[in-house]
Amino acid sequence: MQLPDSRMGVVEVLNGTGRKGAGSIVAEKLRRAGFDVVKVGNAPEKTFSRTVVVQRRGSDSVAARTASLLGAHGFCQLRNENLLVDATVFVGRDIEEIANP
């Protein structure tokens, strides 16, 4: 496993499935790729059918790299420069496709 590299991006992963451990599976995949995953938790809603990557601050390249690695269908922007993460991943019920491409 690589050491985290903040240049790859600082990311939080939120489980939006209700399935225990789904966020941790995605976080581990991102960490293996060198992303600095600083938070793994639960999303406020457990109804995400697909995984969504949201750009929070900085360059769009972090969200683009994250979405590409996870096989997500692009990303959206919901910027908040006060957050300490570059991107948020909301894990959806497509977790099997993401975990085992």
Instruction: Give the model's confidence band at 6: pLDDT under 50 very low, under 70 low, under 90 confident, else very high.
Output: low
Higher-confidence position of 13 and 5: 13
pLDDT at 2: 55
DSSP 61: H
Res 101 pLDDT > 80 = no
Per-residue pLDDT tens over the stretch 34-90: 999 999 999 999 999 999 999 999 888 899 999 999 999 889 899 988 889 999 999
Domains and CATH numbers, the chain: 10-99 (3.30.70)
pLDDT at 59: 82
List the 10-15 sheet strands across, edge first. Answer: 36-42, 10-15, 87-91, 52-55, 76-77
E strands in 1-101: 10-15, 36-42, 52-55, 76-77, 87-91
Instruction: Give the model's confidence band at 1: pLDDT under 50 very low, under 70 low, under 90 confident, else very high.
Output: low
